[in-house]
Amino acid sequence: MEIRPGIEMASLSDVGCQRENNEDLTSYWEPQSDDEFQRKGRLAVVADGMGGYEGGQEASRLAVETIEDVYGHEPANDPRGALLKAFRAAHERIREYAESHPEFHGMGTTCTALALNDLHLYFAHIGDSRLYLVRGNAILRLTRDHSYVGRLVESGVLRSEEAERHPQRHILTAALGAGTDVAADAPTSPVTLENGDILVLCTDGLWSLVQESEILAIVTSHDASSGCAELVKLARQRTGPDNITVQILRISFNGASGH
């Protein structure tokens, strides 16, 4: 798929050093027609499946396919509403799949999806994959981890540095396909981006091994493609026990307004 001007995008997903299968999935989508593109913009998704390697792979695939499909068919005047509707549909599809395939009981997936329309960033999020915004020399995490350890950090019981080494850090409190309701986060107002901003989507296979300061240094000193490669390489050098997935989107309007 050809990517329209206005961003530089690259993604990379790696099985890691200790897994046999990759349960992560990342995707990027634009409408085919320019008219639709003006209204809907771009969609990027990252998902980290769980529930045995086949169940995890199916869950992340169902999530990404459903979110692209629902977002693509929704009216274009409410990106946040379209993302939340897509998350609900993905949640139901994964639950239905697990019901008809009892061997995949417990399957589910994290999911972080962003819609980018000109310089307006909308996103929806569930689980512990992450979305970062890099601007200048600063990195800001836009998502919060829906995990047992994330709750301990938010309540002040643990420091964030301790959380990254905590033995229970992989226990999620919310995921697509888990529970009856979808407890997704989706800010009511879009984030206004600036030319040169960098968005980083990644799974815990990356952020649990690579510090935010390292992500910042790598994405600001490399183009998107080599930045993805460097980040995955660093996670693999640190044993890479999990699948490792990253997508980088750099806003690059080259001084021109619009797309």
Note the pLDDT tens digit of each residue in 112-139: 999 999 899 999 999 999 999 999 999 9
Find the CATH number of the domain harbouring 193: 3.60.40.10
Question: Is 243 among the domain residues?
Answer: yes
Computed over every residue of the chain, the mean pLDDT equals 92
Which runs of E-coded beta strand occur in 99-236?
108-117, 120-126, 130-135, 138-141, 191-192, 198-202
pLDDT (mean) for 49-67: 93
Q: Is the pLDDT of residue 257 over 50?
A: no
- The range of the structural domain enclosing residue 130 comes to 6-252
Q: What are phi and psi of 191, to 5 degrees?
A: -85, 130
Question: Is 258 among the domain residues?
Answer: no
Q: Is the pLDDT of residue 255 over 90?
A: no
Q: Select from 253, 200, 252, 206 the least CA-distant residue to 11.
A: 200
Q: Is the pLDDT of residue 258 over 50?
A: no
Question: Is 116 among the domain residues?
Answer: yes
Question: Is 47 among the domain residues?
Answer: yes
Question: Is 1 among the domain residues?
Answer: no
To 5 degrees, how large is the angle CA 58–CA 101–CA 28? 15
Question: Is 259 among the domain residues?
Answer: no
Amino acid at 81: G
- The whole-angstrom separation of Cα 23 and Cα 253 is 34
Q: What is the pLDDT of residues 142-155, one digit of tens each?
A: 999 998 888 888 88
Percent helix, strand, coil in the chain, to 5, is 35, 25, 35
pLDDT (mean) for 161-188: 86
In this predicted structure, what is the pLDDT of residue 213? 97
Question: Is 83 among the domain residues?
Answer: yes
**pTM (2 decimals)?**
0.94
* Residue count of the chain: 259
Q: Are strands 191-192 and 120-126 parallel, antiparallel or unpaired?
A: antiparallel
Number of domains in the chain: 1
Question: Is 22 among the domain residues?
Answer: yes
pLDDT band of residue 229 (cuts 50, 70, 90) is very high
